Amino acid sequence: MTLFFKKFILNLLFPVVCVACRRETRTDDYLCGDCFKKLKFYGGKTNLSLKFIDELNIAGDYDNRPLASLIKILKFNAIPGASKPLVAWLSLFWQGLAVLKSPTLLVIPIPLSSRRLRRRGFNQAEIIARGLALNFNYELNLELIKIKNTRAQSSLSAKKRSSNLVDAFKWSGQRPIKRDILLIDDVITTGSTLDSAAETLKLAGAHKIIALVIAKG
């Protein structure tokens, strides 16, 4: 049985519906075209104090229900197909900024610990980073690794989030980076995860670190 035929049968038995309006979609994007147009770019300001991030770009707000629904089913329901509209939408956001950036940015996703990666089966930040790198012809790099099985940041107070990530990341590359970095994650709340990863990258020789996240939580 071909992959196309398997997909056709699965769609017949379990049709993909839009996460926002619950109507069946013609593709497996989990967001229909009408609801995709309702995704709004983030227009607010952040008061986050990030020591190692040189520039923070936030595409949307977690209060936007369709956006939050896509992130949830990607991250917690382990449905990689939900990444397609997220990559498309994040690319639209980045397109307006990319003309002002270096065309040789090195794209690095926030990694998961090996235990969480085994449990989930994939890293949602890596899927998003791969799609964005492909759309903009950037180089993708996966040599930033997470060596500490930390507690979920969402379960901790703002005060405990930074200490939870001490010595959590490691640069596994053989050479210093010496590049500008586009650091990708799905949701930012306090920024502790991004800043801890950025500190590791700076110690590994990274130049400017530009963070790009899908939504502010």
Looking at this protein, which amino acid is placed at residue 91? S
Degrees to nearest 5, angle at CA 217 with 204 and 138? 40
* Residue 172 near residue 145, CB atoms below 8 Å: yes
With a CB cutoff of 8 Å and minimum separation 6, the contacts of 162 are 190, 192, 195, 196
What's the pLDDT at 25? 75
| pTM, 2 dp | 0.86
* pLDDT tens readout for residues 119-165: 888 999 999 999 999 999 999 999 999 998 765 545 545 555 555 56
**83-98 vs 65-75: helix crossing angle, rounded to 10:** 120
Domains of the chain: 1-38 (no CATH), 42-216 (3.40.50)
| Residues of the chain above pLDDT 70, percent | 84
* pLDDT tens readout for residues 15-47: 688 988 988 876 667 899 899 998 999 977 788
* Residue 163 near residue 129, CB atoms below 8 Å: no
Please compute the mean of the pLDDT values over residues 93-99 and round it to a whole number.
89
